[in-house]
């Protein structure tokens, strides 16, 4: 592995450790810590609300383009050249934007038995470990998604005649939303329905 690939991983690891340490410091406290926590949660409400709306819009676009594709192919017998690429791109954006929303509400698959029956100190350690894993993974996805988006910016998406980087941009954008969702979930856990599940 060359230095070009090691440096981003080192930066991601350092940023993860610092973010988890800051989150542990902020999660319980008053004064500056409470204001910082409130600021993160306000950004969460605004940005992840926007992500949910955009993910829903992407799904609606995919459905409409898919419907048009079926109508054009079977009703008019003139297949559309752009609808398949638009469906694929819209579904990619929907999925990556939805990850942040899912992380925020704690709806991703997790190992809850250990969390449910652990004492409070171990529970907080498990939550901090999960946050570190999420931030590390999303940091890696962000970095390599960004470099891939830059690399393909001169290629054109077949059928849509736009840069294929518009499709690849979903990767770093979704990863950024997911990092915010994971951090907000750590600071303000809202998975009561998951906690009460049998």
Report the C-alpha gap between 28 and 34 in whole angstroms. 8
Q: Are 69 and 143 in contact (CB under 8 A)?
A: no
Distance CA 100, CA 46 (A): 13
Q: Which among 109, 104, 123 has a CA at the least distance from the CA of 174?
A: 104
pLDDT tens digits, one per residue of 107-150? 766 666 777 788 888 888 888 998 999 999 999 999 999 999 99
pLDDT for residue 111: 62
CB 149 within 8 A of CB 119: no
Element holding 30 (H helix, E strand): none
Q: In the block, which residue shows the tokens 């409130």?
A: 38
Domain limits, the chain: 12-195
* Residues with pLDDT less than 50, the chain: 193, 196-198
pLDDT of residue 28: 80
pLDDT value of position 145 = 95
């Amino acid at each position: 592995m060359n230095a070009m690939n090691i440096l981003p991983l080192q930066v991601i690891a350092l940023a993860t450790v610092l973010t988890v340490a800051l989150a542990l410091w902020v999660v319980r406290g008053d004064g500056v810590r409470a204001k910082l926590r409130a600021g993160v949660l306000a950004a969460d409400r605004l940005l992840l609300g926007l992500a949910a709306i955009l993910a829903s819009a992407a799904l609606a676009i995919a459905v409409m383009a898919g419907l048009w594709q079926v109508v054009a192919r079977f009703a008019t017998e003139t297949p559309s050249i752009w609808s398949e690429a638009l469906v694929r791109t819209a579904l990619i954006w929907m999925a990556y934007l939805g990850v942040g929303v899912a992380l925020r509400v704690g709806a991703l698959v997790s190992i809850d038995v250990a969390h449910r029956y652990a004492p409070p100190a171990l529970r907080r350690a498990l939550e901090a470990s999960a946050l570190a894993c999420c931030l590390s993974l999303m940091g890696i996805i962000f970095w390599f998604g960004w470099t891939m988006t830059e690399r393909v910016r001169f290629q054109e998406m077949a059928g849509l005649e736009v840069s294929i980087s518009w499709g690849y941009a979903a990767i770093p954008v979704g990863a950024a939303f997911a990092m915010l969702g994971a951090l907000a979930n750590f600071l303000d856990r809202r998975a009561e329905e998951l906690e009460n599940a049998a």
